Amino acid sequence: MLSLVISPVFAQTASTSAASSHRIGVLTDLNWTDPNAAGFLKAFTEHLQALGYMAGRDFLLELRAADRNANLLANHAVELAKRSTVIVTASSSAGKAAHEATKSIPIVGCGSDSVMGGNMTGFSGVAEHQGEFLAQLKAVIPELKRVALLFDRSYFAVPPLISSSERAAEKLGLALIHAEVNGVSDWASQFAQLKRSGAQAVLALNHPDFRRERSRLTALAIEHGLPLSSPYRENAEAGALLAHSQDFRWIGASVAGYVDRLLKGARISELPVNRDAPFQLFVNLRTARVLGVTVPDSLLQQASGVFGR
């Protein structure tokens, strides 16, 4: 089995024919101990091995992690653009940074539709799944009519998520209440206003603050009696009724398949953006009991993780 030492900055070296090996840069805005980043990297390297590649003989890995530091992320992306045959991105923010750093080196990985195209391809399916997340809330709350859409525009990936949520809500017969916040300091007042406005549930869109401050976010939702559907597995652990996360191991393995084709001569334009990456559902039954709602068996059977049994 391929063995890697995971560290914030890591270069895998080879002794003899390194010059003829492909150099693969792998970039995340998190760190390599984060479960999502680690799962992505493990699946990526294992699948490369399964495809017949040997580290040191066929490729060199350059791992870079920014630990949520935007300036460091940008610097890492510029560095990898100078050193890599192909850049692999393990998060949407990393995809954006890599795309800003180079318009010629092929980039494959996670990314928002706003940066896909040109020299970047990979997996961009979050927007297409907003209807699924709204439908899950409706399954828990059959009488659901008014849903608050909680978002912070400071995250570049948010605008297409808003548009997708609006289209999905219309199809589901739901009224969306736009609940825009500008930083964590807005959250308490926004939740109080949502309760007064008749919101019956909250769908949070992707934003780093919603993951970093998940205990505060989930506590506010519970305090105001609002079932919360949120990105990130950790948010369900912290108390979100429902949470959803891309399957980063599936994406990591699939990215390896794209890299294989690139290293064998395929053009980036021949590798279509994939919007069918699976999402994992997580449920917190303790929160369901506190809120007095019932999560149907159909959702529990779909769940990759159930907390608070």
| pLDDT greater than 50 at residue 149 | yes
pLDDT score, position 125: 67
Q: Report the C-alpha gap between 222 and 186 in whole angstroms.
A: 17
**Domains of the chain, start order:** 9-124+247-270 (3.40.50.2300), 127-246+279-307 (3.40.50.2300)
| Cα–Cα distances in angstroms (integers) from residue 185 to residues 182, 196, 214, 216, 246, in the given order | 8, 19, 14, 11, 28
- pLDDT band for position 273 (cuts 50, 70, 90): very high
Residues 153-174 have a mean pLDDT of 94
**Positions of E strands within 144-275:** 146-151, 175-180, 201-204, 228-231, 242-246
Residues 273-296 have a mean pLDDT of 95
Other Cβ atoms closer than 10 A to 29: 27
More confident residue, 228 or 111: 228
pLDDT score, position 52: 96
Residues 182-207 have a mean pLDDT of 97
pLDDT score, position 303: 97
- For residue 169, give the H/E element and its range: helix 158-172
pLDDT score, position 177: 97
- pLDDT band for position 126 (cuts 50, 70, 90): confident
pLDDT score, position 5: 37
- pLDDT band for position 60 (cuts 50, 70, 90): very high
pLDDT score, position 218: 98
pLDDT score, position 12: 42
- Supply the DSSP string of 17-74, one letter for each residue: SGGGSEEEEEEESS-TTSHHHHHHHHHHHHHHHHTT--BTTTEEEEEEE-TT-HHHHH
| pLDDT greater than 50 at residue 17 | no
- pLDDT band for position 128 (cuts 50, 70, 90): confident
Give the predicted TM-score (pTM) of the model. Answer: 0.90
| Cα–Cα distances in angstroms (integers) from residue 221 to residues 79, 192, 201, 239, in the given order | 41, 10, 9, 9
pLDDT tens digits for 228-252?
999 999 999 999 999 999 999 999 9
Residues 55-64 have a mean pLDDT of 93
Nearest-Å Rg of the Cα atoms of the chain is 20
Q: Report the C-alpha gap between 129 and 112 in whole angstroms.
A: 13
pLDDT score, position 221: 98
SS (H, E, C) 186-212: HHHHHHHHHHHCCCCEEEECCCHHHHH
| pLDDT greater than 60 at residue 173 | yes
| pLDDT greater than 90 at residue 131 | yes
Percentage of the chain modeled with pLDDT above 90: 86
DSSP, collapsed to helix, strand or coil, labels residue 131 as helix
| pLDDT greater than 60 at residue 116 | yes
Phi and psi of 283, rounded to 5°?
-130, 140
Which of 93, 88, 40 lies closest to 67 in space, CA to CA? 93
pLDDT score, position 41: 97
- pLDDT band for position 19 (cuts 50, 70, 90): very low
More confident residue, 276 or 204: 204
Distance between terminal CA atoms of the chain? Answer: 36
Other Cβ atoms closer than 10 A to 189: 10
Question: Backbone dihedral region of 67: left (phi > 0), alpha (psi from -120 to 50 degrees) or beta?
Answer: left
Q: Are 9 and 63 in contact (CB under 8 A)?
A: yes
Mean pLDDT of the chain: 92
